[in-house]
Structure 1
Amino acid sequence: MTNRFEERVITLKVLREWPLPDPQGSKEARGTVLVVGGSKFTPGAVLLAGEAALRAGAGRLQLAVAEETAVQLSIAVPEAKVVGLSQGDQLRKLAEGADVVALGPGLDDIEETTALMRDVLGAAGPDTGVVLDAYALGALSKDAGLLRQRRTVLTPNVVEAQHLLGRDPGDDLAAASAELAERHNAVVSLYGHIATPDGRAWVEESGDAGLGTSGSGDARAGIVAGLLARGAEPAQAACWGAYAHAVSGQRLALRHGRTGFLARELVDEVAHTIATV
């Protein structure tokens, strides 16, 4: 498939002409994000995504992780309510009340992920914002019917895009992003290439090699979830999220070199990057 759409480069001018909703009122007005993921070996992925959502402007944060790490994570992220993945009734109740569900960071079992998606997305409303990342995209590649929500952003890397497409996406990531957006009726953000089901497309060109670090994708998914929670539409959240992710890396590169910074340091830059647009 060749790219049918002309991509618009994401610049400061583009973002300033497309301002994020102005935060008003209480924390409830900026939305609740529920991050679901984190096996007992990778709870940090949920921490990164959750803190990134708060840095991007979400008002409230809830985390669902493997039972073995729930207490430790509640101490590490005192801003969040934390539950275990095995607490089915409680998790479904959180999904029902969440404005945005980010699902996938840190999961490592495809069958468990599929069951979680069926349970959590089944409990969430049709207008709940959804961000799917990591193993959630692998589950989606096997059963497209798991996704029921309209306000959805998929954030695959190249390997995950390959699973979703059923083939190597090749060098034309713009075309791959557009194809996936149309196939899943969702906004897709693939390595800076953002596409919508109705044919709009953008590209963020300032990302550099340092973003290819452990946990970086979790941070990006969290940024998008936080922007959705504060009221951005999915395409807007994906574009602003790609910019905030890339430019936060640029800021860190000045201090640590192109490949010396960490994903948790990216998270700490996000609020300042967004505020200075």
Structure 2
Amino acid sequence: MEQQLVAVQHVSMYQLMQRAGDALFQALQLRWPSARHLWIFCGKGNNGGDGYVLARLAKLAGYNVEVVAFDEPPPGIPAEQARRDWLNAGGKCSGLHTLHGKPDLIIDALLGIGPSTPLRGELLAWIQFINRQAVPVLAVDIPSGLNADTGMPLGGAVHAAATLTFVALKCGLLTGLAADYTGDLYLSDLKNGAAGYCDIGGIHIMSYDRVAQSLFPRPRTAHKGDCGKVLLAGGGPGMPGAIRLAGEAALRTGAGLVKIFCHPENRQLVFSGRPELMFCHELAADTLCWPDVLVAGPGLGLDEWGQQQWQHLLSYHGKMVVDADALNWLAQEPQVRHNWVLTPHPGEAARLLQCTSADVQSDRFAAVQELQHRYGGVVLLKGFGTLISDGKQIAICTEGNPGMASGGMGDVLSGIIAALLAQGLPLYDAACCGALLHGKAANEIAKEHGERGMLASDLFFWLQKLANPQRYQHGKNADTNSQ
């Protein structure tokens, strides 16, 4: 993509590097306006070259700049010219042993997007040294030591307060453990005006504006039968909450009719206080002919009752959302279907793939693709940087926050996706839209009340708002029945 940008804009790689250095200088002035003493750690590659450009600009502006060079750039690359220009401007390069005092800000320009194997030796020691300093860090393009494809640290990575990435967002900045290292994430595309080059190939970053295009206003003559019928099955002994949350989420996202099947001992708790939920007595053949979409799994359980219900549910061949314990039963008896959405968290994904959660997290993109290959349909892999794959394309949802680390959140997501499927969205679109609504609702709650103490049921108020984008985007008096 850098090469495409260079070709389209008729600039050299060094000119592009100068744009990057200028963007970094502007970023630090805006984010840390009082910072005057900088330590800039430069590696031998072009990421280090960005650091040298920044160092020269800051020195010319009167900053106290100390450049710590890990190694000299090899001849012929833009970083060599950037280093030479820094030295010609009166700068010098030092080692760790020459640093003194305490800087206002550290710039991490050690490594770029290239490394993919565990770091060792002196380079890892430098990263650890940076992390020991009690000052903020601005990472150049990506925190050094973070895998740009997976978002996992390569034995260690710089903990940045902010990261300014260039040209395009890298997949590894948006998933895995990236959030613990990137800090606030910013993008400078380095364009000078419009540039006709591609975005991230094959990866779609979901946005509310994008999914809102799928949530059309309803016809004025719409009735409940037009808005889809959802049946949810789960709620085994001692677990009434999951299926109730999923059912109410389906209602709040617009499903016309919602039925719940659960264990008899849970019926009073599941249906109390929400009369709009319909009761399903048994999973008989005529019952399974009723829904447009079936949700299997919330609170289903792994006991004999749960296994019996799972076998009944497998006789349904319409659109399904498979979650929670239904995924665990599926892992024991794998099969492929093309009309279901699977919504595993990393632990469930590990059981489906017969590996460990650490294996799943080490490369979430590979995991979601392998899950889709083995089980078909659409797979939504939960976690930071939720991934959705249908085998042909992958979407990533960056909405959400740590407040969602509480019981029932996944059940709410299943209900949302089911409601969207029931209203006619295709599997992939429903999964993408559902993940976005789910995460954005949680973010709206966090803005008002904070993250700690957020409950899954708190999302319902915002789900209804977000499921009506015409009203949400254009004001409370907007007519949702008109374009």
| TM-score normalised by structure 2 residue count | 0.52
1:180 matched to 2:368? The reply is: no
For 2:328, the equivalent position in structure 1 comes to 138
**Mapping of residues 104-253 of structure 1, within 5 Å:** 104-109=297-302, 111-122=304-315, 124=316, 126=317, 128-145=318-335, 148=337, 150-168=338-356, 169-191=360-382, 192-197=386-391, 199-253=392-446
Alpha-carbon shift at residue 40 of structure 1 (Å):
2.6
Is the contact made by 2:236 and 2:306 (CA closer than 8 Å) also made in structure 1?
no
User: Cα deviation per residue 1:157-211 (whole Å; 9 max; x = unaligned)?
Assistant: 11000001111213321221111112111101112100103x2110001221111
Quick check: which has more Rg, 1 or 2?
Answer: 2
For 2:466, the equivalent position in structure 1 comes to 273
The one-letter amino acid of 1:251's match is: E
For 1:58, the equivalent position in structure 2 comes to 255
SS of corresponding position for 1:189: strand
For 2:215, the equivalent position in structure 1 comes to 20
Superposed CA RMSD: 2.1
Is the contact made by 2:236 and 2:305 (CA closer than 8 Å) also made in structure 1?
no
Is the contact made by 1:33 and 1:60 (CA closer than 8 Å) also made in structure 2?
yes
Is the contact made by 1:110 and 1:139 (CA closer than 8 Å) also made in structure 2?
no
Distance 2:328 2:239 in 1: 17
Alpha-carbon shift at residue 140 of structure 1 (Å):
0.6
Is the contact made by 1:181 and 1:195 (CA closer than 8 Å) also made in structure 2?
yes
SS of corresponding position for 1:203: strand
The one-letter amino acid of 1:230's match is: Q
1:10 matched to 2:203? The reply is: no
Structure 1 unaligned spans of 5+: none
Distance 2:237 2:308 in 1: 17
Distance 1:176 1:273 in 2: 30
Distance 2:438 2:217 in 1: 20
Give 1 or 2: higher helix fraction: 1
Structure 2 unaligned spans of 5+: 1-148, 151-200, 474-483
How many matched pairs? 265
Alpha-carbon shift at residue 70 of structure 1 (Å):
1.4
Select the residue among 32, 36, 40 that pairs with 2:237.
40
CA separation of 1:167 and 1:116: change in aligned 2, threshold 3 A: same
Distance 2:269 2:348 in 1: 30
Distance 2:393 2:331 in 1: 23
Alpha-carbon shift at residue 73 of structure 1 (Å):
2.4
Distance 1:257 1:238 in 2: 26
SS of corresponding position for 1:217: helix
Deviates more, 1:199-208 or 1:64-73: 64-73
User: Cα deviation per residue 1:42-79 (whole Å; 9 max; x = unaligned)?
Assistant: 11111100010111111000000111121342333211
Is the contact made by 1:95 and 1:121 (CA closer than 8 Å) also made in structure 2?
no
Q: Percent identity?
A: 31
For 1:95, the equivalent position in structure 2 comes to 288
SS of corresponding position for 2:366: helix
SS of corresponding position for 2:260: strand
The one-letter amino acid of 2:437's match is: A
User: Cα deviation per residue 1:22-56 (whole Å; 9 max; x = unaligned)?
Assistant: 43421011111001001231111111000101111
Select the residue among 246, 257, 275 that pairs with 1:78.
275
The one-letter amino acid of 2:372's match is: A
Distance 1:113 1:263 in 2: 23
Higher relative contact order (CA 8 A, sep 6+): 1
Alpha-carbon shift at residue 155 of structure 1 (Å):
0.7
